[in-house]
Structure 1
């Protein structure tokens, strides 16, 4: 470009290029179809629970890696009997239904049912929400 003097024309060539394709462009449908036509190997993998919010309420992500690594026959921890009874008792004292309690803690009623039936895998976040909503201590020493 011209320096500080009078304005002159700039005769230096300027090359305008597109950006190099990023990862999202490589997964584009056109690119994948072109690769199929050329005979390249294509691997398609669907992500676990992709596009859903199941992981937040199910709590299964806590021990799945540990279970996958072990070859022994193990199972997840379940809600202890004392905790089930404490939740039911505290909910009864507040005169709340399962669906009302679920709405208070922003969870599905199914989550409360699983905790009260003992089928749920304990999730510390949900337990702390329950403690706050019920005003009772559910974890630790009484």
Structure 2
């Protein structure tokens, strides 16, 4: 033992090298045609099987209700914005003398979104409708569509 009390084993000789951070060479995958051909010329055993869906997290079990969905004959579609809502958006925007681009800038959306809502082509999004209500000051949801949006406290 040395004076510091550290024991380093004493098995390392002068001729041996310790390399830190260097990995030992290992046989890699041959992906290119030229690498496969070179390995065949060298006489190396090659396995060229394809691993299907390797690296994908997929379930192997079919969904439980696939038979029910296959028997389904009803046409399914998304609801679109009501024409009353589209008309209320147009009227409130015109009352403020805003273009579609102006309204889009106020609600932080694209002009195309405003255009789809005014043409009743958009799938209703409650967040977008809420932003439009606040910007235009008009109710766009519920039973009072087109009525002024009251911002004050509720009366009892």
What band does the TM-score fall into relative to the shorter chain? 0.5 to 0.7
- 2:117 paired with 1:115: yes
Q: CA deviation at 1:10?
A: 4.2
Greater per-residue helix proportion: 1
Q: CA deviation at 1:33?
A: 4.2
Extract structure 1 runs of 4+ deviating beyond 4 A. Answer: 30-34
TM-score by length of 2: 0.52
Which one scores higher on RCO, CA 8 angstroms, separation ≥ 6? 1
- 1:126 counterpart (120, 125, 128): 128
Structure 1: 5+ residue runs without aligned partners?
Answer: 18-29, 45-68
- Quote the Cα distance in structure 2 between the aligned partners of 1:32 and 1:101: 57
- Quote the Cα distance in structure 1 between the aligned partners of 2:30 and 2:129: 45
Q: CA RMSD in A?
A: 3.6
The residue correspondences of 1:49-128 to structure 2 (distance < 5 A) are 71=72, 72-128=74-130
Number of residue pairs the alignment of both structures matches: 102
Distance of aligned partners of 1:104 and 1:32 in 2 relative to their CA distance in 1, 3 Å threshold: farther
TM-score by length of 1: 0.57
Structure 2: 5+ residue runs without aligned partners?
Answer: 10-19, 22-27, 37-47, 55-68, 145-156
Larger radius of gyration: 2
Q: CA deviation at 1:135?
A: 1.5
Distance of aligned partners of 1:32 and 1:81 in 2 relative to their CA distance in 1, 3 Å threshold: farther
Q: CA deviation at 1:115?
A: 0.5
